[in-house]
Amino acid sequence: MALRFYNTLTQQVEVFAPLHENVVRMYTCGPTVYNFAHIGNLRTFTFEDILRRWLRARGYRLDHVMNITDVEDRIIKLSAAAHKSIYDYTAIYTEAFLEDMATLRLERPERMVKATDHIHEMVAAIEKLDERGYTYRSDGSVYYRIANFPGYGKLSHNDFSGIRAGARVDVDEYDKADARDFVLWKAQKDGEPGWETPLGAGRPGWHIECSVMAMKYLGETLDIHAGGVDLIFPHHENEIAQSEAITGKPFARYWLHSEHLIVEGQKMAKSLGNFFTLRDLLEKGYAPEAVRYLLASVPYRKKLNFTFDGLKAAATAIDRLRNYKLRLETAKFAEGANEKIEQRTAAAIGAFDEALDEDLNTAEALAAAFEYIRDTNTAMDSGEFRAGNVPGALEFLDRFDAVFDVLRSTASAGSLSDSEVDALIGERTAAKKARNFARADEIRANLAGHGIVLEDTKDGVRWKRS
């Protein structure tokens, strides 16, 4: 067993091991909090959650830092339009992001840190770059001279040897393959928020915050740095140029990038107007677990084509998993344990682990689970599955759910409508008549899970919400 990841830096799948004992020091680029996150963003954050959980399942401890970008061009524009300070404006969307994370069951990184809490450390880093000859000034702003950093392009594997020296950009996003000197410190413009610092009044460019916060909390060389593929260039390339120019050491050992979520062939993006937020999907009646399942189900290095059919299929898959668990917990099996089933369980766990070890192949991990469920359901129907096989099966589900986390229902108790309850009770009565007591018990347990208590009386079944 070895855990392997595709490393964007080397363009190879490599065996993973942290630098220091069993603690993984990981940095992931967090949201820019000028609006609600769309499910494309959340795909990337879900991948990072799966990564966290699998590292832990493999015995590692985590020290994971995620930044919140709470000062940049769009934030400044939109907060001014809303007549709010950048703090008041970004607080709204930071809160919304934390809520979305909780709804999607994304674990909180050990540290979530804000750019605006690190302005002076960023200034100090820029001063160091200045001392080492990587910067120049123009109109009060400070730029990074990429021609002075020989490794520029090593992450995105672009050849920038023909770059136009001195061409530069102030904006945080620019065209692929058109490398330019990027801004480290932006001189304050009229009416814009800014900080008084030895570099002059102004604010940091976007890239410097990640170099500074990553190294402050995790040290000069990180184990893992992750984000969406759109961050490879220029953002992560620039983070490397900044950090390595300061320390002379490799900035991150493994670079993991998740592919985009797309809609009809196009990247889901606010600028394209083709996006859904998590809230949009919940309003349409989809459960958060279905969204989580869908986002996790496609291996992170493959594009994920978002469709409502896909979302419905995710909900159906979760139902199958839950019904299976309910059957394990409520059905009556013959005594003893079937050795063949025990072997089947061990094989399923092995296949599941192997799939996730191999660069987090979530699709194969899910396939391992569903094949196991199909086989053992058949064994239950034929009586080969015994009571002694239940603990192994439940253990596998636990292992599954420690990563996918979809078995528990978010729906609050009593969320079934009266007519849904009546329909299920009708089905239970019919099952009992047909002497299918397993199904009848299953329905009773299902209703209990929704906080519905049944009472069999001589006049029929009465029920109430607990």
Q: Which residues pair with 7 in a beta bridge?
A: 12
Cβ closer to ligand AMP: 52 or 428? 52
Count of beta carbons in the 10 Å neighbourhood of residue 283: 10
Distance CA 140, CA 199 (A): 8
**The residue type at 325:** K
176 contact partners, CB below 8 Å, separation of at least 6: 233
If residue 376 lies in a helix (H) or strand (E), which one and from where to where?
helix 362-381
Chosen from Zn ion, ligand AMP, none, partner binding at 40 (C-beta under 5 to 8 Å by type): ligand AMP
Q: Which stretch binds ligand AMP (CB under 6 A): 37-45, 165-173, 281-289, 308-316?
A: 37-45
Check binding of 450 to ligand AMP (CB under 6 A): no
Cβ closer to Zn ion: 149 or 385? 149
Chosen from Zn ion, ligand AMP, none, partner binding at 230 (C-beta under 5 to 8 Å by type): ligand AMP
Counting residues that bind ligand AMP (by CB under 6 A) gives 16
Residue 167, SS3 per DSSP? coil
Among 18, 31, 153, 205, binds ligand AMP (CB under 6 A): 31
239 contact partners, CB below 8 Å, separation of at least 6: 207, 210, 211, 214, 225, 251
Asked if 204 and 115 count as a contact pair (C-beta separation under 8 A), the reply is: yes
CB of 105 to ligand AMP, least distance (A): 18
Site string for ligand AMP, 337-366 (x = CB under 6 A): ------------------------------
Asked if 407 and 321 count as a contact pair (C-beta separation under 8 A), the reply is: yes
Asked if 37 and 277 count as a contact pair (C-beta separation under 8 A), the reply is: yes
Check binding of 299 to ligand AMP (CB under 6 A): no
Check binding of 204 to ligand AMP (CB under 6 A): no
CB of 3 to ligand AMP, least distance (A): 22
If residue 392 lies in a helix (H) or strand (E), which one and from where to where?
helix 390-404
Count of beta carbons in the 10 Å neighbourhood of residue 356: 22
Among 53, 207, 267, 444, binds ligand AMP (CB under 6 A): 267
For binding to Zn ion (CB under 5 A), which residues are involved? 29, 210
Among 65, 268, 355, 403, binds ligand AMP (CB under 6 A): 268
Cβ closer to ligand AMP: 231 or 290? 231
Distance CA 347, CA 340 (A): 11
**The residue type at 123:** V
Check binding of 238 to ligand AMP (CB under 6 A): no
Count of beta carbons in the 10 Å neighbourhood of residue 189: 12
CA angle (296 as vertex; 291, 298 as ends), nearest 5? 115
Chosen from ligand AMP, Zn ion, none, partner binding at 109 (C-beta under 5 to 8 Å by type): none
Chosen from Zn ion, ligand AMP, none, partner binding at 268 (C-beta under 5 to 8 Å by type): ligand AMP
Task: Tell me the residue number closest to ligand AMP, measured at CB.
Answer: 228
Residue 226, SS3 per DSSP? strand
Task: Supply the DSSP symbol for 19.
Answer: S
Q: Which stretch binds ligand AMP (CB under 6 A): 180-188, 261-269, 317-325, 378-386?
A: 261-269
Chosen from ligand AMP, Zn ion, none, partner binding at 210 (C-beta under 5 to 8 Å by type): Zn ion
Largest CA distance in the chain: 90
CB of 375 to ligand AMP, least distance (A): 35
**The residue type at 373:** I
Cβ closer to ligand AMP: 276 or 286? 276
CB of 113 to ligand AMP, least distance (A): 15
Q: Which stretch binds ligand AMP (CB under 6 A): 108-116, 142-150, 225-233, 237-245?
A: 225-233
Q: Which residues pair with 65 in a beta bridge?
A: 27, 111
First to last CA, the chain: 47
CB of 30 to Zn ion, least distance (A): 8
Check binding of 64 to ligand AMP (CB under 6 A): no
**The residue type at 129:** L
Residues interacting with ligand AMP, by CB under 6 A?
Answer: 29, 31-32, 40-41, 43-44, 227-228, 230-231, 260-261, 267-269
